[in-house]
Structure 1
C-alpha cells in the first residue's frame, strides 16, 4: 500500500508543477505598459524613417545621380520653385500640390558656387552678429 501512496504523491507533485504556467508574466506587466512599449516602437520607427529621408542618402534617392535638386525656394505653403540639374542642363520648375510645370531652361547654367552661396539671409545674419559683437 505504501508503494501506491508514494506513486500517488509523486504523480500529484508532477501534475501540480505541470498545471502552473511556465511563462507567467510578471504582475507589473499590464495593458498600459504594453501599449506604451508599442507606441515607443512605432514612434522610433517613424523617427528613423524621417531621419533617413532628411539625410538624403545617395543610395536611397537614386544610384545614377543624373537628376539633382540644386535649390528650392518656397513661394507658398505648398508651392515652391525648384532649380534642377539634369545632366548638363539646369531647369527652373514650379511645384504645386496638383502639378509640376517647367518654368524655364537656363541658357547659361549657374556654377555650384553661385547655387550654394545663395544664402542672403545667412549673410545678413552674420553681418548683424558681427556688428553686435563690436559693441
Structure 2
C-alpha cells in the first residue's frame, strides 16, 4: 500500500514563523558585515591599501623639539619651504617661514644644539625672543 506522491502532505515553503525568518535574516546580515570588516582589516594589515605615491610625500617633519609637557616646536618641509610651527594641545601657530637650507639627510643628523640655535635665530627675526 504505497501512497502516491500527490497524496502525501508536503510541508509548506513558508512554514517558518516571522520571528524565525527575521532571526535568520539578521544572522546572515551580521555575517556579511563581519566578513567585510575582516577583509578591510586584512588589507590594512597586509599593506595593500597604502597609496602608491609614498616616494615623494607632500609634507615632511624635519625636526621636532619638546618645550614643555605638551608643547613642542616642529620644522615641517612643504615643497621648497620650511615652516617653523609652535604646537600645543589646542593650537598650531606658524612662528616663521624659512627657505630650504639643507638636504633632508643632513637635517636629520643635526644635533639638538644646532636645532635650538636655529630656533633662537628664527624667533629673533620674528621679534618674539630676545
In the superposition, the TM-score normalised over structure 2's length comes to 0.42
Identify which of structures 1 and 2 has the higher relative contact order when contacts are C-alpha pairs closer than 8 Å and 6+ apart. Answer: 2
Flag the structure with higher helix content.
1
